[in-house]
Structure 1
Amino acid sequence: MESNYQTLKRTDNQLLVLTHLSQLLTYATVFGGFIAPLIIWATQKEQVEGMDVHGKSILNFQISTLVYTIISIPLIFLFGLGIITLILVAILAFIMPIVNAIKASKGELPYYPLSFNFVS
């Protein structure tokens, strides 16, 4: 017999904030800023209201920053443009998680500019 009840999700803005801020682990570890949000999203997307949307946004942003970084490396040898691009990516990768953590604490949806939609 199949159950017809729907699982209630809890509201946990603090966990959403922590998920956004966990991206900053990239500056302490190489892939910690990708792995930590991935684990939180994968384990909590069914339990926490909004986690699926926030987690997908975070993962898309992290993958996008990786793509921009990889593209920037060969551009270093072409007129030094890659250095400027790497600096801009690093600034965005530092500021946007903080901005979106503040938005998450207020119950707002995240916005990460220049993100590709890899995870939908």
Structure 2
Amino acid sequence: MNEFENATAPPPPPAGTAPQEDRTVALIVHLTGIVTGFIVPLIIWLVNKDNPAKAWLNDQSKEALNFQITVFFGYVICWVLAFVIIGGLLMPLVWLVNLVFCILAGLKANEGVAYRYPFAIRLIK
């Protein structure tokens, strides 16, 4: 097994449907990433990481947290590239990608589907 086989983690196996409360919190976690970045997903993950009854919510908060960290890295790269003008042009694109994927993730999470962002650096496992 090499290090690249685990690059994209599969969603957790379905262990029944997620409770409506967890689906609503997951929706909020994904959508607040648009405005607050990684703060809300980090708080929800830290609160629920040791609770086995919240495994689905824990998974979704980790997924949102990893994506927001990736977006943060994108903003940092754009800021560095702003000195050669290209970063200023890419920053709205990073914001738009964040907006679209957070909305898609929130809608899927509200349906009870374990959403995986198409690209994210998975630092939190």
Same fold, TM-score > 0.5, yes or no: yes
Structure 2 counterparts to residues 56-67 of structure 1, below 5 A: 56-67=62-73
Unaligned runs of 5+ in 2: 1-17
Equivalence for 2:59: 53
Q: CA RMSD in A?
A: 1.7
Q: Does 1:24 align with 2:28?
A: no
Alignment of 1:1-120 (within 5 A): 11=19, 12-26=22-36, 33-45=37-49, 46=51, 47-78=53-84, 80-120=85-125
Once the two structures are superposed, residues 26-61 of structure 1 have per-residue CA deviations (whole angstroms, 9 ceiling, x without a partner) of 3xxxxxx32122111221242424112111111111
Report the TM-score, using the length of structure 2 for normalisation: 0.73
Output the TM-score relative to the length of structure 1. 0.76
Q: Which has the larger radius of gyration?
A: 1
| Percent identity for Structure 1 against Structure 2 | 30
Post-superposition, which runs of at least 4 consecutive aligned residues in structure 1 deviate over 3 A?
Answer: none
Deviation of 1:96 (Å): 1.3
User: Alignment length, in residue pairs?
Assistant: 104
Whole-angstrom CA distance in 2 between matches of 1:35 and 1:74: 23
Instruction: Report the equivalent of 1:7.
Output: none
